A and B are shown apart, each in its own frame.
Chain A
Amino acid sequence: MVIRATLATRAEAVADIAKDARVSADTYVVGQGDEVELLYGVSVFARRPGPRDVLERFVEAPAYLEVTVGVVRAAGFSVLPTGANPDHFDVQLVSGRTESQPASEQDVAAAAARLVRVAGDLLPNPFYAGS
């Protein structure tokens, strides 16, 4: 399972994901040679059984999305392991776009909405410290 902490509504979750994916694409690419594409990355964490829950760090997030990597991949999104942390991944929100042909804001927003739809219901964050 991978998770991403969110605000309380699906619309807010979609907007947040789309914004972060655009910043990612403005910063990073993935691939090599002729296969390089913009990384519309949406950061997610693996949530594994054990005494420490990755959600502990999101005490101000009222909700979260949780979905299996298989479901995300079946929906057509790549899930890329990222960096030193074996529990951190980027979901490639829009594939195949280059610096000369970036995705439109509408494309990114539509992909974010699709990812949230695939992930299912927003779940209440058990570590939420707000009111």
Chain B
Amino acid sequence: MPERRNPWAVDKVDPAVVERIAVTHTPDPDAVKMGVDIIGDPHREDDDGFNWTRLRFARNVADVAPGSTIVMGSSIGRYLAKVIAWDFEVSDEDPIVTLELLPVTPESVERALARSRPPAA
């Protein structure tokens, strides 16, 4: 069995590349409608055990750059995820977006963050 890649290790992408792709990107209509950063299938796993989708399904390219924490939308719910890498092997304009799906719901994180704020003075 292949060794699983460390999800803390992120393959950063040159900001100039992000900007180049963003210029021609059209926001994915389903992502816009759902109010999420990108659309994907939570069942998918690549050879490293990561989830994946394609950049063309993003709402805003810069929001899903490697290292970002995002909300992935799907037909069966929303998932928090960390963007691990963009893989340009199949396309220079529409790379594979590699994601680590986090085993928590967006709502539970919202509640935890609300609790973590210091009390008002």
Contacts and interface: CB of A to CB of B under 8 A. Distances in A.
Interface residues of A, number: 25
Interface in A1-60: 4-7, 12, 16, 20, 23-24, 26-27, 43-45, 57-60
Interface string B102-113: 010100000000
Given A82-B45, A84-B47, A84-B49, A27 B2 contact: no
A5 B49 contact: no
29 contacts: A4-B43, A5-B76, A7-B75, A16-B76, A20-B41, A20-B43, A20-B44, A23-B41, A24-B44, A26-B54, A26-B90, A43-B41, A43-B44, A45-B43, A58-B76, A58-B77, A59-B77, A60-B77, A82-B46, A82-B47, A83-B46, A83-B47, A83-B48, A84-B4, A84-B45, A84-B47, A84-B49, A85-B45, A88-B45
Given A60-B77, A82-B46, A84-B2, 12 more contacts: A4-B43, A5-B76, A43-B44, A57-B101, A57-B103, A59-B77, A83-B47, A84-B4, A84-B47, A84-B48, A84-B49, A85-B49
Interface of B: 1-4, 41-49, 52-54, 75-78, 90, 96, 101, 103, 105
Interface of A: 4-7, 12, 16, 20, 23-24, 26-27, 43-45, 57-61, 82-86, 88
